[in-house]
Amino acid sequence: MVTLAVEHVGVKLGRRIVLHDVSASLSSGEIVGIVGPNGAGKSTLARAMLALIPASGRVLVDGQDAAHMRRADLARLIAYLPQGQSLHWPLSVERLVGLGRLPHLGPMSRIGDDDAAAIERAMERADVLALRDRVATELSGGERARVLLARALAVEAPALIADEPLASLDPGHQIDVMELLKSEVGDGRLVVAVLHDLTMAARYCDRLVLIAGGAIVADGTPETVLSPDNLRTVYGVEARIDLNGAWPTVTTLGRSAS
């Protein structure tokens, strides 16, 4: 179990204010989708939650200020899947996934039986067992995305922040990943996912945080956040929204007139 509190967080990159006075409280047992248009500040918020960039305000992880925590301690609590990560070293898939165990290892420590078991579980959950001996730099974009997800899962942290986990994945594996993230929540973890696909966000997220212009526009259930007015204001589109059936859908119809 873990709690994550964002208190009046602001981020300025150069002269541009990317986030302004963002506050939210997140807790275990929910999958929270961060949605919004390009350049809204979604990825910046994810990085600020992990104290990876300078920010005003505070991010509290189990009541501790993330900016003052040891990196290994924070990494054991919150696993991170960055977007669009490049691979430069010709490691095997199994060794790459094994890097997820680094927060649990001391200096000069070797992978132990518990670590090996965690690596195996992560590869199985991300459906990459068949790739274990492949060279990671030779994988397709979709294969690489699933392997990097496995690396994050290998941490076995009580929270996971995933920045665009569906990028480069075909529709079937998009569903697989969202089902996997949903199962993580069922096991009592907190999952925060930056998403562009509003239908996937509506189907799988318990809560959505809609960001535009570096500020939170709406925060609540998908039914509350994904309103025609919000999508018109934030995305500039007209949309057909059906969230009451067995398969919620958000279909964009075109640019709004205003």
CATH number at residue 119: 3.40.50.300
Dist. CA 249–CA 144, nearest whole Å: 28
In the chain, % of residues over pLDDT 70: 99
pLDDT in tens, 167-211: 888 898 899 899 999 999 988 899 999 999 999 999 999 999 999
Q: b vs e for 193-208, b when ≥16 Cβ sit within 10 Å of the residue's Cβ?
A: bbbebbbbbbbbbebb
For residue 187, being part of any structural domain is answered with: yes
When divided into structural domains, the chain yields a total of: 1
- Domain of 173 in residue numbering reads as 3-222
- What pTM was estimated for this model as a whole? 0.94
For residue 56, being part of any structural domain is answered with: yes
pLDDT in tens, 49-65: 999 999 999 999 999 99
Rounded CA Rg of the chain: 18
Dist. CA 16–CA 167, nearest whole Å: 27
Q: Which residue has the tokens 């907190």?
A: 190
For residue 250, being part of any structural domain is answered with: no
Backbone torsions φ then ψ of 47, nearest 5 degrees: -70, -35
Kindly state the tokens that stand for 62: 């189990």
Dist. CA 192–CA 202, nearest whole Å: 14
Q: CB of 249 within 8 A of CB of 199?
A: yes
Residue type present at position 100: G
For residue 50, being part of any structural domain is answered with: yes
For residue 254, being part of any structural domain is answered with: no
For residue 256, being part of any structural domain is answered with: no
For residue 86, being part of any structural domain is answered with: yes
**In tens digits, what is the pLDDT along the chain, a chain of 258 residues?**
899 999 999 999 888 999 999 999 999 999 999 999 999 999 999 999 999 999 999 999 999 999 999 999 999 999 999 987 778 889 999 999 999 999 999 777 788 999 999 999 999 999 999 999 999 999 988 888 899 999 999 999 999 999 999 988 889 889 989 999 999 998 889 999 999 999 999 999 999 999 999 999 999 999 999 999 999 999 999 999 999 888 899 999 999 986
Dist. CA 212–CA 37, nearest whole Å: 7
Dist. CA 194–CA 166, nearest whole Å: 9
Residue type present at position 148: L
Q: What share of the chain is helix, strand, coil (3-state, %, to 5)?
A: 40, 30, 30
For residue 251, being part of any structural domain is answered with: no
